[in-house]
Amino acid sequence: MKKIKKDSNQICKNFEDYCKKIINFENIENHVLNLIKLGDDIFPNLDSKKNKKNKIDFSKISTTNKELAALKIYNDYIYARLFDDYLKVYNNTLDEIKLKNLIFYFSNSLNKCKIYNKKNCDIKKYDLNIYLNNTPEISYKKIQLNLDDKENIVWAEINGKIKNENFNYFTRIENQKFDEDALNKPEVYNNKYLTNLKNGTFFISGKLFVNEPIIVPKNYNLNVESGSELIFNENSYIYLNGGSLNLDGKNKLIKLAPSGEFWGGIYVNNSPRLSKINNAKIISTKNFEHEGIFLTGGLNFYKSDVEISNSVILNNKCEDAINIINSKFKLSNSQIINSISDGLDSDFSSGFINNTVFENIGGDAIDTSGSKISIIDTEIYNAEDKGLSAGEKSEIYVENFKIDSSKFGLVSKDLSKVSGKKISITNSIEFDVVAFEKKMHYGPGFIDINEVKSNGKILSQKNSIIVINNKKIASESFDSKKFY
């Protein structure tokens, strides 16, 4: 109690004296003392013979007018949840409630019906004439609904009556999987592709046509065996939450490809184990989407360490071919080819890129934010934006690094530091090397590289520093918006 008083006084220092009167500490102390005196007697055993006389007959108790008035303010006579084919309604009072009718509001092919707005909605009314009994227990009435066009329902209005008081209650359509009854049930996994389980890992092998998402149960791993070929439709993808992914084509290439133009990609989330992709060809991924999760990458690793080796990431159809966040990674002996936007996007991660080729990249070949990465024996061809873009305090080391035919070659911005040696930057459309400030709350860029071969197109913004072959480049003022 002393600590609560101290905290309260500290908070109230910044307010008027009334603040100190909001909490009546004398009352609180009296209540606590009374609770201590009552002890276990606060929970009388109503089933014992001794206390039978204390049983309460709730049928003779009614909600008072003042209580009803309080409930009316927030329209809290009932609480209801609407799902595809049923309605659940709770009685928040000690009185019988009549549910008179239910009005559904639908979207149609011409107009979009918005939540709790009757405009542009198709309307259907259903008679209920259902009574909710008064009970002291928290319980609900489940009302089954047989609707032909339930997929178009947006929201509903319940009209009811309590003690001659009419009321209405609005509720929106919900996903049935979030019903508390469903959440309390143990998860049942019936994915037809996850039938072979050994020691916490699901195994997939052979040639499969995947026409539904492969959603691995939480904390389980997935192993796609050597030589497997998975052909996905556009609505299919692989999702792991808490488990690792292993695509190990150690004996024969693994191929993941779409049946059409693209497929939904891969997301590995929060895995404590290392994921591995080896000798795999991953073709035409789009950005990953799953039940409200929307990611920019085709291959996504969040707080999940990963090694990608001897693999080809081809014809990516989204913002990032590979997106790595808060993870450790290695990318070696691989190719990222024909990406519609960025090749590799590393956010707040640490990694190593070795002997890898980026070719025909629609955005940045390698884009980093807050990352520490070493790039060795790596080549970049035809990046339509930047070959290497280091941002947000990234620290990048490069060696035996080649960038050819990109719009901008090597770029450092926002307190990022790029260092290294044996670097070739040729045929840049605008600049070979650039350092500047993009975000005001960060700062300039820094580059110190040696044994550099370039066409000499260097641009250093005022306050940024570029040192090439031990020679500092003169800086100048310019608007950096042209670089993003």
pLDDT, tens only, 420-430: 999 999 999 99
Rounded to 5°, the CA angle 312-313-319 comes to: 165
- What is the residue whose two structure tokens read 């004996």? 251
Task: Assign 269 to helix, strand or coil.
Answer: strand
Domain boundary among 179, 213, 238: 179
In this structure, the answer to whether residues 292 and 427 fall within a common structural domain is yes
SS3 at position 415: coil
371 and 464 housed in the same domain = yes
Domain membership of residue 58 (yes or no) is no
In this structure, the answer to whether residues 297 and 168 fall within a common structural domain is no
**Same-domain status, 395 and 333:** yes
CB 318 within 8 A of CB 297: yes
Is there a domain that residue 264 lies in?
yes
Query: Is the same domain home to 305 and 352?
Result: yes
The CATH number for 114's domain is 2.60.40
Judge whether 189 lies within some domain: no
| Residue 185 placed within a domain | no
408 and 376 fall within a common domain: yes
Say if residue 120 is in the same domain as residue 249.
no
Q: What counts of helices (H) and strands (E) characterise the chain?
A: 5, 41
Q: What's the pTM value of the predicted model, to 2 decimals?
A: 0.64
Do 272 and 328 fall within a single domain?
Answer: yes
Amino acid 16 reads: E
* 139-174 CB burial, b ≥16 within 10 A, e <16: ebbebebeeeeeebbbbbbbbbebeeeebebebebe
- Looking at the fold, whether 236 and 161 belong to one and the same domain comes out as no
Nearest of 117, 203, 209, 202 to residue 157 by alpha carbon = 117
Are both 79 and 42 inside the same structural domain? no
pLDDT in 10s for each residue of the chain, 484 residues: 888 888 888 888 777 777 888 888 888 898 888 888 888 777 766 555 555 555 666 666 788 888 888 888 877 899 999 998 899 999 988 889 999 999 999 888 788 888 888 888 999 998 999 999 877 667 789 999 887 777 788 999 999 999 888 999 999 989 887 887 777 665 555 688 998 999 999 999 999 999 999 999 999 999 999 999 999 999 999 999 999 999 999 999 999 999 999 999 999 999 999 999 999 999 999 999 998 899 999 999 999 999 999 999 999 999 999 999 999 999 999 999 999 999 999 999 999 999 999 999 999 999 999 999 999 999 999 999 999 999 999 999 999 999 999 999 999 999 999 999 999 999 999 999 999 988 777 789 999 999 999 998 999 999 899 999 999 999 888 877 776 6
- Give the Cβ contact number of residue 371 at 10 Å: 27
* Pair 28, 70 in one domain: no
Query: Can you tell me the distance from the alpha carbon of 88 to that of 367, in angstroms, rounded to the nearest whole number?
Result: 49
Handedness of CA 17, 23, 29, 31 (dihedral sign): positive
Residue 422's closest CA among 430, 413, 412, 410? 410
Q: Are residues 205 and 120 in the same domain?
A: no
Tell me, yes or no, whether 60 lies in a domain: no
Tell me whether residue 291 is in a domain.
Answer: yes
CB 252 within 8 Å of CB 282: no
d(CA 224, CA 281): 13
Full domain range(s) for residue 171: 65-179
How many domains is the chain built from?
A: 3
Closest by CA to 466, choosing from 432, 439, 426, is 432
Please enumerate in sequence order all residues whose Cβ is within 8 A of that of 305, keeping only pairs 6 or more positions apart, or say none: 271, 274, 275, 327, 328, 329
Within-domain flag for 327: yes
Residue 57 inside a domain? The answer is no
Q: Quick check: 216 and 240 in contact, CB under 8 A? A: yes
Structural tokens at position 455: 């066409």
- Per the listing, tokens 């101290």 go with 6
